[in-house]
Amino acid sequence: MQFLFIRAMKAHLIFILIGMFLITTSCEDDDHEHDEEHTDADGFVLEDENGSEVYREFEGAIEGSVSLSVGDTLELSVHFLDHDGNEIEHEEDELVVSENDANIAIVEVEEHEEDEEEHHGAGLHVIGVSAGSTNFKLQLMHDGHADYTSTNNVPVVVN
C-alpha cells in the first residue's frame, strides 16, 4: 500500500514540474518578443519647427499647450520618451490623432514621402480654423493596437 502511494506521488510531481517548466519558458519567450516589437513609451514631446518644446507629457505630468492664430498652420514634430525621459527611436508605427473639434483646429498627421532622408520622428500639422479651444488625443499604433496613448488630451488654443 505504501508503494502505491509513493508511485502516485511521483506521477503528480512529474506533472507539476512539467507544467511549471512550460509556463516559465513560454513567459520568457513572450517578454522577449514584446521588447523587440513594441514601443514602450512613458510620454512624448511636441516641438515646433525651431526645435523648441511646445508641449510635454511625461508619466502623466503635462507642461505647455499648443497655441496659434486663425488661418495659421503649425508644424510639430512628435518625439516619444522612455522611462528616463530620453527620446525613443521607433519605426513602422503609425501616429493617430482623435477627439479634436475640427471646427476650431484641424490636427492631422504629416505624411512622409518614401524617399525622405531626414525623418526624425512623426509630424503633425495643426491648422487654426476659428477662435476657441479644443484638444486632441495622441496614439502610437502598432499592428492594430496602441503601443502608447496620451494620458491627457493635448490642449489647443486658437486666437
> Does residue 29 register a pLDDT over 60?
no
% the chain with pLDDT above 90: 55
Position of cell 505647455? Answer: 64
How many angstroms separate the most distant Cα atoms in the chain?
Answer: 91
Instruction: Round the CA-based radius of gyration of the chain to a whole number and report it.
Output: 24
pTM of the model: 0.70
> Does residue 36 register a pLDDT over 60?
no
pLDDT digits (tens, 9 = 90+) for 43-83: 999 999 999 999 999 998 999 999 999 999 999 999 999 99
